[in-house]
Amino acid sequence: MVDLLRLRFCKTGKAKYISHLDLMATIRRALLRTGIRLKYSQGYNPHPYISVALPLPIGCGSACELADFGTTGGLLPDGLQEMIAGALPEGLEILEVYIPKRKFSEIAWIELNGVLHYDKGTPQNAAEMLAERFSAKSIVISKKTKRGISDLDIAPHIKDIEFRHNGESSELSMTVKASAQNPTIKPDDLISALEGEFSALKPDFSLFARKEIYDKNMKVFR
C-alpha cells in the first residue's frame, strides 16, 4: 500500500515570493481540494505530513522543487498531476507525481543560475575577476545560523562556477554547483563573498533560480 507520494514542481513568477511556510500551506490546501486523504501526525495538535526537500529563499525561483506528502487509503499517483495542478496558484506548476524511492537526505548538490546586475555597468573584466575570486582555496564569509553569526569557508562547498556576459552591458550571468546540505550554500552566501577588497564586483541587484539537484555522485536526484 502506497502511503507516501512525491511532487516535482516549478516555482516561478509571483510564486517566487511565497515563503516556505506559506508554500507548505498552499500545497496542503491544494491537496485537500482534490479530495486526497492526507496522513496526519499523532498528538495534541495533529498536522498533515508534508515535507519540502530544500526550502528556497524568498525571491529565488526553481525548476526542480520536491515535496513529499503522506496519504491514507493506498492512493496511486496516476492522474494526480492534473488534479493537483488545477488547485494551485499561478507560478506553481506540477511536473510529476510519483512514488519516491530515495530520501531527501541523499541530496548533496544544487545547481543555480544567477544574473548579476550593475547599475553603472559591469566592472571591466568582471567575469574573469569573479572567476578568479571563486577559484580561491579559501573564501570565508560571515553566515547567520540558529546560534548567531559564524564564519564559513564556502570554497570547499563550491564544485563548479562559471561567469559570462549575457549581451547586456549592465549584467553578468552565472552558473554554480554548490553544496545543498550541511552546509547549504545560498545565493546570499555567494554575494557575501564579494565584500571588502572585492566590493567593486558586488552587484547592485541579483536574481537566482534553482536549476537542478543532485546526489553525492552528481546524478540527478528524483
What is the number of structural domains in the chain? Answer: 2
Among 38, 69, 101, which residue terminates a domain? 101
Residue 87 shares a structural domain with residue 51:
yes
Residue 112 shares a structural domain with residue 206:
yes
Q: What's the rounded Cα separation, in Å, for the pair 66 and 7?
A: 6
pLDDT of residue 1: 54
pLDDT of residue 211: 97
Among 101, 118, 136, which residue terminates a domain? 101
pLDDT of residue 72: 86
pLDDT means per 10 residues, the chain with 222 residues, are 87 94 93 88 84 94 96 80 90 94 97 95 92 95 80 95 84 96 94 94 96 97 96
Residue 134 shares a structural domain with residue 48:
no
Is residue 221, in this structure, part of any structural domain at all? no
Closest C-alpha to 49, from 69, 65, 75: 69
Residue 28 shares a structural domain with residue 68:
yes
Helix (H, G, I), strand (E, B) or coil at 217: coil
pLDDT of residue 78: 83
